[in-house]
Amino acid sequence: MRIVVAQDAIGTEGGVETYLLAVMQALRSRGHQIALLYHRRSAAPGAFLASAHEAVCVEERGLDAALNDLREFRPDVVFSHNMSDLEVERRLIVH
């Protein structure tokens, strides 16, 4: 399955990020293709980027370009987790 994981920020080491990283690693270990959409990077995001087959930053690419990148990934499902910018979630629903 091709899964997009949408998360507000990556690179921090809080409980939310620890949980999400574990979920992404478990999904990938079971053969799923993971694309990570994140709004912003707060520090070095090494573990997150290593757990995804593709990673797209809204802050760096802009929302339209980021969503176009995800469209090319052709996801089966989107798992939106802790996204503070609701416009990103609204646009994910449409795409």
pLDDT at 8: 85
Q: What is the pTM of this model?
A: 0.86
Alpha carbon 19 to its chain centroid, in Å, reads: 13
pLDDT at 89: 85
Taking the C-alpha atoms of residue 36 and residue 34, their distance in angstroms, rounded to an integer, is 6
Kindly list the averaged pLDDT for each block of 10 residues, start to end, along the chain of length 95.
90 77 93 92 69 90 94 93 84 78
Give counts: helices (H), strands (E), the chain: 5, 4
Q: Which amino acid does the sequence have at 46? A: G
pLDDT at 71: 92
Strands of the sheet containing 33-41, edge to edge, are 54-57, 33-41, 2-10, 77-81
pLDDT at 75: 94
